[in-house]
Amino acid sequence: MKKKKIIIAITGKSGSGKTTLCNHVYSKLGIRQIESLTDRAKRTPDEVGHTFMSKEDFDKITREEMIAFTDGFGTSRYCCRHRDVVDDVMSYVLSEDGLENINKNHSELYDVVSVRIKRDIESRLSDVGAERVGRDKDNFYLDDSYFDIVISEYENTSLEVLFGSFLHKCNNKFTYFYGFEE
């Protein structure tokens, strides 16, 4: 039987450290991040991490192609496609809606390691500002028990400690499928 691909699905409020963790996982383990397709505008001219497209081009993506479709952040939509999952193990920053979508509709294709990152509001406000923190208000509703891994309140620790906590908590799942070890 063919092994399913693993998606490390990372959720958290704006400024919690999702992309930071993905970048560190890539630098330490070589696990690449899936880039979301989105029809929102770039926040800054040099923003990376998403593939930006027009609303018209986004409309051309069929639901059958989509994984983790989300339209919960105002007027913008996000997704990735099955063809974007090119490696056996990949990380993906997504919303809780997107995580539920993968688990409900694509569990036959992917093993999902769900990760929630929590961080205090003062640190998040300092890093990303009130507008982005404010838009998160009704978009986070899942209980911590829904997640395989919950990383809480890491703001007083280093990135290495955050990464170590992540790696330790997902070691059993990775070892089972691919033999990764700490």
pLDDT digits (tens, 9 = 90+) for 160-176: 666 676 776 666 555 54
Question: H/E element holding 18?
Answer: helix 18-29
> 78 φ, ψ to 5°?
-140, 150
CA distances (Å), origin 168, targets 1, 28, 72, 171: 28, 14, 32, 5
- Reference 109, options 64, 140, 78; nearest CA is 64
CA 45 to chain CA centroid, nearest Å: 22
CATH 3.30.1340 fits 5-178, yes or no: no
Domain boundaries, the chain: 5-178
What pTM did the predictor assign? 0.84
- Of 10-24, 49-63, 90-104, the range with the lowest mean pLDDT is 10-24
pLDDT digits (tens, 9 = 90+) for 108-140: 999 898 989 888 888 888 888 888 888 777 778
> DSSP letter at 136?
T
pLDDT digits (tens, 9 = 90+) for 39-64: 988 888 888 778 999 999 999 999 99
Could you count the other beta carbons within 10 Å of the beta carbon of residue 135?
A: 14
Going by C-beta distance under 8 Å and a sequence separation of 6 or more, which residues neighbour residue 56? none
